[in-house]
């Protein structure tokens, strides 16, 4: 009996760490965009899903090697993100109150992308499971963990660590942080905020793409997961504080553990509901976000 209980506890810990870290990656990308541009990226979940679906298409359906499937996924989504920023988003940069405009635009983009997925990938299957590039399990006593999930966890942690280091140590990263904190002061210091806006959007989209690929590596995808991811990552960003990567990590882990613990006793939908209640409680304590500057 004791061994069974320990197995459940360790399973909750490993599941919470994996899910929480991947969602922290996606929330960090969203937070980076919103904190810099004041852009509530409602299509973030659909970008996440696009990354997972393209990775599945190239790596599993077409059987491309990883070294080709992963860069191609990044290139396609990066090109589309660049085109979107250059033709649509930058037109609203001069507006002070652009949040609502961006929300409506990105909601429209999200709906269009969702329709495209249904009309294309929806004709192939309802769920999409990437073929594991590495078979087998690592035994972290007493829990067996698939190598692919372990790899996804390590890579997700590396993305977050690399992003924190970039924001603190690199010249462009410090410029991003300056814009987070005070756009006018950053402009007066000679920082080209328009270029920073573009860079932030592309970097945030790349991070979201990484999250989608890592999720597809560890879990099966379905065509509704994009909307779920949008809801979860928006709440992570708001509670953690827009622009705060540390906030995204901490609150993402809270979500992962909440979902893992509640899922032991109830349906995953109930787990998500429990998480959202926990987020509301945190907002009552600190409405501006736990790590807002």
Higher per-residue pLDDT: 14 or 202:
202
Higher per-residue pLDDT: 53 or 293:
53
Q: Do 175 and 186 contact (CB within 8 A), yes or no? A: yes
Q: How many domains does the chain have?
A: 1
Q: Do 71 and 285 contact (CB within 8 A), yes or no? A: no
**DSSP-H helix ranges across the chain:** 2-37, 44-56, 66-87, 99-120, 147-169, 171-181, 183-188, 193-218, 225-240, 245-265, 268-285
Tokens of 16: 């919470």
CA distance 145 to 52: 21
Tell me whether residue 1 is in a domain: no
2, pLDDT greater than 60: no
**CA 226, 232, 233, 238 torsion-angle sign:** positive
Q: Do 127 and 221 contact (CB within 8 A), yes or no? A: yes
Tell me whether residue 290 is in a domain: no
Residue 141 DSSP class: T
- Give tens-digit pLDDT for 210-266: 999 999 999 999 999 999 899 889 888 888 888 788 888 888 888 888 777 777 666
155, pLDDT greater than 70: yes
Model's pTM, two decimal places?
0.92
Tell me whether residue 291 is in a domain: no
3-state SS, residue 224: coil
3-state SS, residue 221: strand
Which structural domain range is residue 35 located in? Answer: 8-285
Tell me whether residue 197 is in a domain: yes
CA distance 275 to 270: 9
Element (H, E) at 140: strand 137-140
CA distance 55 to 133: 12
Tell me whether residue 47 is in a domain: yes
Measured in whole angstroms, the distance separating CA 183 from the mean position of its chain's CA atoms is: 25
Tell me whether residue 166 is in a domain: yes
90-94, 105-109, 164-168 — which is least confidently predicted?
Answer: 90-94
Tell me whether residue 3 is in a domain: no
Tell me whether residue 292 is in a domain: no
């Amino acid at each position: 009996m004791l061994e069974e209980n320990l197995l459940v506890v360790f399973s909750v810990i490993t599941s919470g760490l994996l899910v929480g870290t991947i969602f922290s990656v996606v929330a960090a990308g969203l937070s980076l965009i919103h904190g810099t541009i004041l852009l509530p990226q409602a299509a973030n979940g659909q970008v996440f899903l696009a990354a997972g679906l393209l990775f599945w298409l190239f790596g599993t359906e077409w059987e491309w090697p990883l070294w080709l499937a992963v860069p191609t996924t990044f290139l396609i989504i990066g090109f589309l993100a660049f085109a979107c920023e250059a033709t649509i988003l930058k037109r609203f940069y001069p507006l002070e109150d652009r949040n609502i405009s961006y929300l409506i635009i990105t909601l429209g983009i999200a709906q269009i992308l969702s329709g495209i997925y249904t009309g294309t990938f929806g004709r192939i299957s309802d769920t999409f499971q990437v073929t594991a590039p590495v078979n087998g399990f690592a035994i972290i006593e007493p829990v067996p963990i698939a190598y692919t999930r372990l790899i996804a966890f390590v890579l997700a942690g590396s993305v977050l660590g690399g992003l924190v280091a970039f924001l603190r140590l690199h010249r462009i990263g410090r410029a991003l942080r300056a814009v987070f904190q005070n756009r006018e002061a950053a402009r007066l210091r000679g920082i080209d905020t328009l270029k920073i806006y573009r860079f932030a959007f592309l970097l945030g989209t790349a991070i979201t793409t990484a999250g989608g690929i890592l999720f597809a590596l560890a879990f099966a995808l379905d065509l509704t997961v994009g909307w779920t991811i949008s809801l979860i990552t928006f709440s992570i960003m708001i509670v953690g504080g827009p622009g705060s990567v540390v906030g995204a990590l901490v609150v993402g882990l809270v979500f992962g553990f909440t979902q893992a613990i509640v899922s032991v006793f109830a349906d995953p939908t109930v787990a998500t509901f429990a998480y959202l209640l926990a987020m509301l409680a945190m907002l009552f304590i600190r409405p501006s976000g736990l790590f807002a500057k």
